[in-house]
Structure formats: C-alpha cells, structure tokens
Amino acid sequence: MSQSESHPSADKALLDELIAVLAPERVSCNDLDRLAYARDTFPLAIKGVAQGDRTYQPDVIVWPETREEVAAVIRLAASHGIPVVPYGGGSGIVGGALSVQGGILLDLKKMNRILALDSLSLTVTVQSGALGGVLEDQLGAQGYTIGHYPQSIYSSTVGGWIAHRGIGTFSTRYGKMDDIVVSLEVVLPDGQIMTTRSVPQSAAGPDLNRLFLGAEGTLGVVTAATLKLHPLPEARTHMAFAFSSFADGVECVRRVIHRDYRPAVVRLYDPVETQAQFSSLGLEPGQAVLLFVVEGYPELVDLTARSVREIARGLKPRDLGTAVGDYWLANRFSTASLCKTLTKPYGVADALEVANVWSRLAQTYTAMKEQMEAAAGPNGQVYGHCSHFYHTGGNLYMIFHAEADSVEEVSDIYYRILDAAFKTSMGNGGTLTHHHGVGLGKGRWMPQELGDAGFGLLQRVKRAVDPTNIMNPGKLGL
C-alpha cells in the first residue's frame, strides 16, 4: 500500500476489519481495480494513466450499501489514520475523486435506491450513488423529472452533483443543485450521521446543506439527499438566432431574463464554436448563435416562446428556425471533441467555466479568449459559449485545445492556459469556477478566489470538522 508521511499505510488489520464490516466481495486490493480507480476525468489524470502513471491509485476500494456501512468505514479509517476518498461516477474533470495520498476509495454506486417520493410536496429522497440517467428514467416512468441534465448525466451520480454544486443544461428553468437540494444525509469524519430537515425553509442558523454543497467530500460523505421534483413537461419548443456579435447575443439573453422569462435552455455560442458546431447552416463567419429551449405547461411555453422571439427580433438577428435545437438536443451529451484531442500523445484540452455579472460578462469573454490564445500558442484554439443565466449575470464556458512539444510539456502548457484563464476571469471580477468545482486541478487559485480571510476561514472549518484530515485530502486547495 502507498506510503504517506501524514497518513501511514494501512495494514492487514485494517483490511480484516473492512471485510468484517462489508464482506470480502466488497473490499478489493486487486491491482486492476486499483488501476481502474486511479483517475477520474481530470485531463492530466486521463493522460497519466494512459502513459502508465499510477500516482493516484488508492490502496483499497470498498463498496458500501448503507449509510451505517459508510459510517463504519470512516470510523475505521479514522482509527488507522487512513484517507477516505468518496467516488461516484468518476466523471468530474477537476480531479476531485483522485486519491492523492492513497488510502480507502469509497465507491458509492451500490447506494442507488430511491428511498421515498412525496407526490404532494414534489420531492424525492434518493441515495447518493444513484446514476443520473437511471434516476431520471425511474422518475420519468412515474411522470416526474428533477430537471438536472448535466452533460455527464449517464456517468455522474447524485452525490457527485452535490459535491461539486453541479448545474445541468436546463438550469435556467429548473435551477442549480443549490436550488434543487432540500435536505441531506451526511456521514461526518467521526462517523456520526447527520440529517438536515426536509422543509421548504428554515432560519435556524446557517444553512448546513450549503456547508456540504461544493465541499467535494472534504467535510464528510453525502449518503442521501432529498431533491425537488417537477411534473414532466407537457410541451416543448425551441428556436435559434444568429447575431452579428457575441455581445449582441449576451444583450438579448439579458433582456429575456430581466423580463422574468425562464426558458429551460439558453445557449449562446461564440463565432468560432458556431462554425464548428453548425457549419451546415451556411452562416457567415463572425456570427454568434443563440439557442432557446422552452418547456413546461403549454400556455406558459406559448407565452415564453412568443415573448422571447419578440425580444430577440428587437436586436435584428437572423431567425434560424429549429435546426440548431434539433442538432443540440440530439448531441447534447457528447464530449467527442475534447476526447479526440486528449487521445493525442501531446494533446491538451479542457472546458473551463466561470461566471460574472451582466455588466462584465462580454468583456470577460473577450479578455479570457485573448489571454488563453496567447498561452496556448500558435497550435492552440480557444472558443466558448454561455449556457447558464441568472438575474445578475451568467456563466462562460471557455474551451481550449492545444498541442505540447513533448510528454513532459503537457502539464506545463495545461496549467499555463489555466493560469491565464483564471487570472483574467478573477481580474475582471469573475469566478474561478461556476459548476465543475475545484478538486485538485484548480486548488492553487483558491486563495486568490476567496481572499486571505476567506481561505483562512475555509481552512479553519476543515480543521474543526475533520481534525485528522482523512476526508478527501488535497482538494479545494486545502
């Protein structure tokens, strides 16, 4: 087992205790199992494993089925001083599920049951290992949806959504995980099980749900959650427009949101991504495409669609009809372009997501694109889109592809582009991340994001809740 100065390796006694709690078939030190869990979808981890790097191998993998078993594993880990890394679908792209100090990897996917469904309150209580696509199918068969459709829906879990404060592509209507979570069940680092109340609102001190939303398993393990439900939409329509500039598209969305319309999907593609995604439409270079998908009750869909068209036409775009929406709905879960670059020996690619207010959103896009292109070099490409919007602003997805000159240079060019992106975003008043989380990949910028006082507070919270530092060490810049 791996050695760590702060966390001595586990010994046979720990394995025997784990087997006694979980049964032999749910505890593994098998070399192939350990290799399989040596990465999530953090780009550098994907490339590392492909090249034989086993830096992030756990020492042992366990598959609990109940919250009591999770609590027992954590108590054993604490008694032996061994790190615990919660693992959902392994779809996170920031390294949040990497075992940076070996230890126990806690695969939660056997904890995948719906525990309760309240049709009057429109909530569902589900274990955190449930895969998103499977859960939506189960709920859809009963006439409901959570409305959370991340690109990773078929390979991500409820626990992963909560750990990273995830946001799905239909978020402008259904909200982000902060809005969807009603209550949580969490196993704390000392093995205690904490459950928050499933109520619409409480003023009983700070909201403990939000302590764990975005905590990435550093403060405990989410074992179940109660989430908001919606009836399946009765109607859906979509439309798209081509604008002469990205800034004009941003302004159109702002006008829609500030009139209090909430299309389910709003996606604004910059001219580069427009040409890559929708070349068959015969658009002139330099145009930005804006897609709206509206769904819900028929009368509300009709009102929203008519109003969105009226607002858009005030900016004189080209009406593209339904072709863009048809293509997007058929291909919305694909990540083929990023994967294609990452499979090249020296290829580097990632999708970075930040957020800013309306008054700075377009200028942040322009500045980030310029600085990231400079960092990527002559063989690089940078493009972006917006896909989540709020009363005060929206997000920016900045996607880059680059080519290093050697295996050794891959990490350097990757972090050089990230540094340019995040410094530019935060320098313009924006964020470090919008919904992918921090994990391992973005940790070095957390002091800048939170400031000295804020990051110091986060460190003190971590020490207070997890004094032995066994919960997913090395994440969030801690």
Host domain of residue 165: 114-231
Q: 225 and 240: one domain?
A: no
Output 279-284 pairs: Cβ under 8 A, ≥24 positions apart: 281/242, 281/320, 281/323, 281/324, 283/242, 283/318
The pLDDT-based confidence of 11 (bands split at 50, 70, 90) is: confident
The pLDDT-based confidence of 240 (bands split at 50, 70, 90) is: very high
pLDDT digits (tens, 9 = 90+) for 395-453: 999 999 999 999 989 999 999 999 999 999 999 999 999 999 999 999 999 999 999 99
Report the distance separating Cα 172 and Cα 340, nearest Å: 30
User: 252 pLDDT exceeds 60?
Assistant: yes
Mean pLDDT value of segment 378-385: 95
Domain presence at residue 119: yes
pLDDT digits (tens, 9 = 90+) for 84-142: 999 999 999 999 999 999 999 999 999 999 999 999 999 999 999 999 999 999 999 99
Mean pLDDT value of segment 277-304: 93
Report the distance separating Cα 186 and Cα 192, nearest Å: 8
Query: Which has the higher per-residue pLDDT, 310 or 12?
Result: 310
Q: 226 and 239: one domain?
A: no
Q: 286 and 326: one domain?
A: yes
Q: 124 and 97: one domain?
A: no
CATH number at residue 101: 3.30.43.10
Q: 122 and 215: one domain?
A: yes
pTM: 0.94
Q: 242 and 211: one domain?
A: no
User: 2 pLDDT exceeds 60?
Assistant: no
φ, ψ at 352 (rounded to 5°): -100, 140
The three-class DSSP label of residue 86 is strand
CB 228 within 8 A of CB 116: no
Q: 246 and 281: one domain?
A: yes
Report the distance separating Cα 448 and Cα 195, nearest Å: 33
Domain presence at residue 129: yes
Mean pLDDT value of segment 164-188: 97
Q: 131 and 226: one domain?
A: yes
b/e per residue 131-162 (b: at least 16 CB within 10 A): bbbebbebbeeeebbbbbbbbbbebbbbbbbb
| Distances from the Cα of 178 to the Cα of 45, 265, 439, angstroms | 28, 18, 18
pLDDT digits (tens, 9 = 90+) for 317-354: 999 999 999 999 998 888 777 888 988 989 999 999 99
Report the distance separating Cα 71 and Cα 49, nearest Å: 31
Structural domain count of the chain: 4
CB 230 within 8 A of CB 147: yes
Residue ending a domain, choose from 203, 231, 259: 231
